[in-house]
Amino acid sequence: MGLSGGLMNYVYDYVKDKGIITSLPRTSILAKATRIHASKKALGLKSDPTSMSPFKTKNRLLRMLLTFLTAIHYFVAKVGPISCVIDANYLSSYSHGIIDSTCGCGSGRVFLNHGVLVVGYGEEKGIEYWLVKNSWGADWGDKGYFKLKKDDKNTCGIATDSSYLLV
């Protein structure tokens, strides 16, 4: 059985069963222009997010349940890309710009249907956004990436189910 559906649990189960390729060089997907070095104080965190509820470790998978957006920000800045499951029903026509909550996508767990990778964040014309890598190839979106508004509306469910695989 191969990878199914683009959801993280399938990927992690596959890696657990089949193993991973260890001979490839480890590279960062984050573009320097989008990486912002953030401190716990700057993010308003009192301690390392991994020591706070709702974080737990299970099968070497650090999983952010009921995720805080500031925690995703912290992990992207300090650890690297974070896997997220989103509502991708409205992404097929994306080509550029920043997607916001008016696009029609759902924010609750029931809408989640596609795995993506949050690789960075930035600001454009005063609007903060997540830089997200999709799996649909470089011909889709903005060379395979899209920007999702970074706000408390949980646009497309970006903060509903996030995880980071520890290898």
Q: Which residues are catalytic?
A: 114, 134
Q: Which residues lie across from 28 on neighbouring strands?
A: none
DSSP state of 12: H
> Could you tell me which of 59, 108, 52, 51 has the C-alpha nearest to residue 85?
108
Neighbouring residues of 90: CB distance < 8 A, sequence distance ≥ 6 = 99, 103, 104, 105, 156
CA-to-CA separations, 86 to 28, 32, 68, 107, in angstroms, rounded: 22, 25, 15, 8
Between CA 148 and CA 130 the distance in angstroms is 5
Whether residue 162 contacts residue 150, with contact meaning beta carbons closer than 8 Å, is answered with no
Rounded Cα–Cα distance for residues 105 and 94 (Å): 13
